[in-house]
């Protein structure tokens, strides 16, 4: 991967090497029966001749968009998504099989702390699951929501702790929700802060001269330099002139580590990844060991294919873990529960949805092959029951309709979903 299609490459004005080849796959549906899914998971993988595999942990603060990105990469919705924090309550795997390569996405709960786990009545596993996922990962994607002006200029303590504990695992910074960010020039500051000014062992330098026109919301011309990954070739002269012009216009300082087309890269491999202790982390806002940076909008799918191409190219020779017909290791019931809970979180205020218990009463195939599901939603109080049902049953009807549509897309069959609301006895 030579960086020419990455976010920093586009900032530099480096032309991409032609459009990414369409991945053109039709992801398999989730099995509708527990037995069928169990059989698929136990099925011996249909290994190609020279299989490649990459295990990817996606970490970040709660609500950064990890599940949305996972669903977009998979091409089918199997992970719950909500504006409320802690929608993902357990670790689950998503499987992308493309030609001879298998990507395994370890979708993890947002990195949180004991106080929040107690407040939201969350499972204690939410404190350990992200760490467990890191142990099995070949690559880490650190996702940051750039639309959140409170958090976008610093990685959380939990994320930094996670990265410092596994410095040997290559990590990539992914800036999400860039479409919402009106002032695109802010991306320069965000990148500098989140990388501590270093990418792939090479220093980035952004001077204040560029910020003079702070009223502009247009995408900046070419403001950041990139350290190219080891073994890659920097682009040749066509963009050299553009890069020089950008450097003059943006105040990039060549003397402080900006690499021109002919200089040799300084890589992490040459220096070895530095280990950071707790004292170091206190003074750090970002992580100086990122290999690459991507900027995308996971919700709309913008630039997600670029990231997917990169991930496929990072895969290493190794046996597949799953049969190519597997999309997720979750059971059909887990997929269903998660999607319904997502809607409940979306439509109920504040802490109310975290007290809802789901009980599946019926799960069977109808005469015409449709899936019939009846689920009871148990709430602690009558007031919560009224909220969930809504005036004239509007809220619960809307939840059932939206969840049913998502389940049809996951299972690729007709789904008839009926929801009942009861007060816990």
In the prediction, which pLDDT does 240 show?
A: 31
Instruction: Give the separation between CA 388 and CA 241, rounded to whole angstroms.
Output: 61
Q: Which residues pair with 415 in a beta bridge?
A: 371
| In contact, 100 and 63? CB cutoff 8 Å | no
How is residue 170 written in tokens?
């290559």
Instruction: Give the separation between CA 421 and CA 407, rounded to whole angstroms.
Output: 20
Instruction: Give the separation between CA 420 and CA 425, rounded to whole angstroms.
Output: 15
297: DSSP letter: B
In the prediction, which pLDDT does 346 show?
A: 87
Instruction: Give the separation between CA 130 and CA 115, rounded to whole angstroms.
Output: 17
CATH number of 332-423: 3.30.300.20
Instruction: Give the separation between CA 321 and CA 46, rounded to whole angstroms.
Output: 10
In the prediction, which pLDDT does 158 show?
A: 86
> For the chain, what are the domain ranges?
34-206+278-317, 332-423
Instruction: Give me the CATH topology for the region 34-206+278-317.
Output: Rossmann fold (3.40.50)
In the prediction, which pLDDT does 107 show?
A: 64
One pLDDT digit (tens) per residue for the chain, 425 residues:
555 456 655 554 555 554 444 565 689 999 999 999 999 999 889 999 999 999 999 998 878 888 899 999 999 999 888 776 654 545 679 999 999 999 999 866 654 444 444 444 444 444 444 566 788 899 999 999 999 999 999 998 889 988 998 989 999 999 999 999 988 889 999 999 999 999 988 888 654 434 444 443 333 333 344 433 444 433 332 333 333 333 333 333 333 333 332 223 333 343 456 667 666 787 889 999 999 999 999 999 999 999 999 999 999 999 999 999 999 999 999 999 999 998 988 888 766 667 889 999 999 998 888 999 999 999 988 988 999 999 999 999 999 999 999 999 999 999 999 999 999 88
What is the rounded end-to-end Cα distance, in angstroms, of the chain?
Answer: 58
Instruction: Give the separation between CA 331 and CA 342, rounded to whole angstroms.
Output: 17
């Amino acid at each position: 991967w030579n960086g020419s299609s990455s976010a920093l490459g586009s900032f530099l004005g480096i032309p991409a090497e032609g459009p990414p080849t369409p991945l053109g796959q039709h992801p398999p549906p989730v099995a509708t029966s527990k037995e069928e899914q169990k059989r698929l998971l136990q099925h011996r993988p249909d290994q190609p001749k020279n299989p490649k595999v990459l295990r990817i942990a996606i970490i970040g603060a709660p609500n950064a968009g990890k599940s949305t990105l996972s669903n977009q990469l998979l091409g089918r919705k199997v992970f719950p998504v909500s504006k409320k924090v802690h929608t993902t309550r357990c670790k689950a795997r998503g499987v992308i099989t493309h030609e001879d390569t298998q990507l395994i996405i370890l979708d993890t709960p947002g990195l949180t702390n004991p106080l929040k786990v107690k407040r939201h009545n969350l499972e204690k596993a939410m404190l350990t699951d992200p760490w467990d996922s890191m142990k099995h990962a070949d690559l880490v994607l650190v996702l940051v929501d750039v639309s959140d002006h409170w958090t976008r200029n610093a990685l959380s303590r939990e994320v930094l702790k996670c990265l410092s504990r596994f410095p040997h695992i290559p990590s990539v910074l992914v800036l999400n929700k860039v479409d919402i960010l009106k002032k695109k020039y802010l991306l320069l500051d965000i990148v500098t802060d989140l990388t501590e000014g270093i990418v792939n062992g090479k220093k980035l330098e952004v001077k204040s001269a560029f910020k003079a026109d702070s009223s502009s919301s247009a995408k900046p011309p070419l403001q950041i330099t990139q350290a190219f990954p080891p073994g890659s070739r920097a682009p040749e002269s066509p963009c050299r002139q553009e890069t020089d012009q950008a450097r003059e216009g943006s105040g990039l300082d060549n003397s402080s580590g900006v690499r021109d087309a002919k200089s040799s890269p300084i890589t992490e491999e040459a220096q070895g990844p530095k280990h950071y202790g707790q004292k170091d982390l206190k003074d750090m806002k970002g992580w100086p060991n990122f290999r690459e940076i991507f900027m995308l909008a996971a919700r709309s799918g913008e630039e997600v294919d670029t990231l997917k191409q990169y991930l496929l190219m990072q895969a290493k020779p190794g046996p597949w873990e799953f049969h190519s017909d597997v999309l997720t290791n979750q059971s059909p019931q887990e997929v269903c529960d998660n999607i319904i809970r997502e809607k409940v979180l979306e439509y109920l205020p504040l802490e109310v949805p975290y007290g809802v218990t789901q009980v599946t009463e019926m799960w069977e195939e109808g005469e015409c092959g449709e899936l019939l599901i009846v689920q009871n939603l148990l709430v602690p109080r009558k007031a919560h029951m009224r909220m969930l049902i809504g005036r004239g049953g509007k809220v619960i009807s809307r939840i059932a309709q939206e969840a049913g549509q998502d389940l049809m897309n996951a299972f690729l069959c007709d789904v008839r979903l009926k929801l009942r609301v009861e007060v816990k006895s």
